[in-house]
Structures are given as C-alpha cells and as structure tokens.
Amino acid sequence: EPVEIAYLPAHSRPEPSALSAAMGDAYFEVLKFIYAHGLQDAGAPLSITKTIVGAELMFDAGIPVRGITDDTPRASDGVRLGKTYGGPVIRVRHVGSYRHLSATHRKIAAYLAALGIERNGDAWESYVSDPGKVAETDLVTLIYYPVRPDLTRSLQTVFTRNGGTRT
C-alpha cells in the first residue's frame, strides 16, 4: 500500500557526515510543514534515492503523514505531499551503522541481478530506530526496492523452490 508522505527534494555528497547533515536539515523543514498545516507524522523518516548527478546524491527526505484534507496545500516552501510506491517490493532489514548501508544495497543489487529481477522505481530507506536513543550497532533500517509486478509470480516460484512457504 502506498503511504502518504511530506517530502523535500534534497542533495548531498554521498558521505555519511554530509548525508546526515543534509537529511537532518531536510527533515527539519518537512516537520515545520507538517506542524504548520495541522498534519501528524505517522511513521519513521524515510529517504527515497533518486539519482547521482556528478558528486551529488539526489534524494527525497520524507516523513509519513496523516490528516491531509482538501484544504491542505500540496506544496509549500519546497516541501511537497506525495505517496510512496504501492506495488510489490523487496524489503530488507539492515541492522547496524548507517555507514554500512551501501554494502547492503550492493548485496540487494547482486541478489536482484542473480535472479533476473527488474527494479520498478526508486529504492527507499525507512529509519526505524532513533539514532539519538539507540546504539549505532543496533540501528534498524528497512530498505525497499520496488520490483516489476509481473515478476511477483517468478519470485514466489523461486522462494517456494528454495524451501520457503507461499502465503
């Protein structure tokens, strides 16, 4: 199911300290929008990876929201309302430092390539744990990769063939 989000397009050098600062600034602007328009945050902050342009990572920093009405502005001060992808995804649970997320992304890409699974949109990360309250080694991040809907049956076949159960 797609999730309604308030998000701000942002960019940063793809280095942990620069990304952390850029995301922090972007989330602050998103939260200002949420509170200014009477919305409620409804989940963990997320980051939707868009592309790399030169030495800059382009991403949308978002926060799930509820309380959107017809009177809620769809954009203000760069912050926009939108939805996450609503089709089938590969979801991976990463536990540990944000510094190791790129290694997890490489493993996901290798897994998708090995099975011939085609992506169907931008990947995103949902930062479940609060880094101010949870040890770096215990941080939980959910990583989502949208996949083509027609591949869902193939995934179920591979999963079942490898000892999994179908639901």
pLDDT single digits (tens) 71-107: 999 999 999 999 999 999 999 999 999 999 999 999 9
Reported residue count of the chain is 167
Q: Which residues contact 93 (CB under 8 A, 6 or more apart)?
A: 140, 141, 142, 143
Confidence of residue 47 (pLDDT cuts 50, 70, 90): very high
- Indicate whether 163 pLDDT > 50: no
Which comes out higher in pLDDT, residue 85 or 163? 85
- Tell which residue, 124, 146, 139, has the closest CA to residue 62: 124
For residues 148-157, average pLDDT? 63
Q: What is the pLDDT of residues 17-28, one digit of tens each?
A: 999 999 999 999
Q: What is the pLDDT of residue 152?
A: 55
Q: What is the pLDDT of residue 1?
A: 87
Ramachandran category for residue 77: left, alpha or beta (phi over 0 → left; psi -120 to 50 → alpha): left
Give the lowest-confidence range in 14-18, 48-52, 88-92: 14-18
Q: Is the Cβ–Cβ distance between 47 and 64 less than 8 Å? A: no
Q: What is the pLDDT of residues 119-150, one digit of tens each?
A: 999 999 999 999 999 999 999 999 999 999 87
* DSSP conformation letters of 34-92: HHHTT-EE-S--EEEEEEEETTEEEEEEEEEEE---TTS-SEETTEEEEE---S-EEEE
Q: Is the Cβ–Cβ distance between 118 and 151 less than 8 Å? A: yes
Which comes out higher in pLDDT, residue 160 or 36? 36
Which comes out higher in pLDDT, residue 13 or 155? 13
